[in-house]
Structure 1
């Protein structure tokens, strides 16, 4: 379970989060929606100790990532939107290094890597340097790294960006399986159809605040998700004004 209680965060004079209180339960896929700059990425970074809230509290399966970031990262699989890999290492070297950090035994690591590498079509990339990989393959490498230790909580920031349809389907299946096994899965996306297709619950953030949260089917029942998103974020009226000016 991932819980935020009254979390606020600012960068200089820019407010990223305003007293956010929200809970992401086990056994479900949660879609995090919001315009650019709404605070989605900051919310995710706080969960793994990469950003520190100015106020409020976060717990990941009972662990405070601010006080104990190492323990939090041991149970969280995190993929940021930006590409972060060691470009001077091969994927094989980098994943082996991660396995050692997570304390995975060699035989178990070998088995997990074999399955993940095949599933994400990375067999021919393992001997290349990270810097030589395409954008899509770099993202696949980050996803494999996040799944390597079978985390209880999976946090994915725009994970489908740059993935081909076949691999995107694999990732969807992995996310659904993780939730079915009792894990917590949170992902952000700009593709509303994707949220409708695989998310059990949707949380919409606007200007650093949670403006809507609920089961996907209930939000969809009010109107189509795109129309509802535009309404609660205020973008619908802005769009109408822009269209009038055309």
Structure 2
């Protein structure tokens, strides 16, 4: 007696991974108890782009980037770097990534020079190559004089710059930066932007999270807007903003703007 035919599995709502994209996200999802931090969505980051991931605090930006970079296991979905699945082939994928994670502590009892050197050696790089690249990075980050100073004594801007140096020591193809400009002074921010723009001009890809719309509009070629763990819009900056400023378009997409009503006691 022949067995009844089983119905085919449901088709995935997302296309397959794009091997030509620097980063492909397909249906990544993460919940913490009843709270859905990131709902499934698909996103491709073109190779050679400066891509901004923007959203209000608590939107799911850090959770998304943590799943992409292997810091947080997703409940479902796939993340790939240049076609390499981050969770199926983690060593290959992470070799192509440089990561500046938000809220992850550094080994701050090392000096800046020691920390960058350690990051390079951890990647299996030869000692002489690490030494040369460390000095190059300290120089362009304007940290040469602070190279022998303990990282624990660095300012917020210096912390960001030494973290970026650690992320770049192995010449990754993709940089994933979570809030790299938060608490950074204008001079350090300008220096970091110059370094990142030069990196993109020479073939690298940057994926950066931020909630500063003006900075993203001036810096990025592409942008994705995420709110309540859901992707609201994605494309080039001009496509997403649709003739408005990015901040105005962001408010339209995200909502939640309040008023000053009820604070008459503040009026002089």
Which whole-Å deviations, capped at 9, do the CAs of 1:87-132 have from their partners, x for residues lacking one? Answer: 2222222221111122222332222222211111212222222222
Query: CA–CA distance in 1 between the matches of 2:237 and 2:183?
Result: 25
Identify unmatched segments of 5+ residues in structure 1.
Answer: none
Report what 2:112 is aligned to: 91
Scaled by the length of structure 2, the TM-score of the pair is 0.85
2:55 to 22, 30, 34: 34
1:195 to 206, 216, 223: 216
User: How do residues 1-246 of structure 1 correspond to structure 2 at under 5 angstroms?
Assistant: 1-235=22-256, 238-239=257-258, 242-246=259-263
Scaled by the length of structure 1, the TM-score of the pair is 0.92
Alpha carbons 1:20, 1:208 under 8 Å: kept: no
- Residue 71 of structure 1 deviates from its aligned partner by 2.5
SS at match of 1:166: helix
Cα gap change, 1:138 to 1:83, in 2 (>3 Å) = farther
SS at match of 2:88: coil
| Number of residue pairs matched by the alignment | 242
Query: CA–CA distance in 2 between the matches of 1:93 and 1:108?
Result: 14
Query: CA–CA distance in 1 between the matches of 2:136 and 2:188?
Result: 14
SS at match of 1:4: strand
- Residue 83 of structure 1 deviates from its aligned partner by 4.7
SS at match of 1:172: helix
Instruction: Flag as ranges the 4+ runs of structure 1 deviating above 6 A.
Output: none
Query: CA–CA distance in 2 between the matches of 1:175 and 1:62?
Result: 23
Cα gap change, 1:234 to 1:53, in 2 (>3 Å) = same
SS at match of 1:124: coil
Query: CA–CA distance in 2 between the matches of 1:55 and 1:83?
Result: 24
Which whole-Å deviations, capped at 9, do the CAs of 1:156-195 have from their partners, x for residues lacking one? Answer: 1110123332322222122222222222211011211111
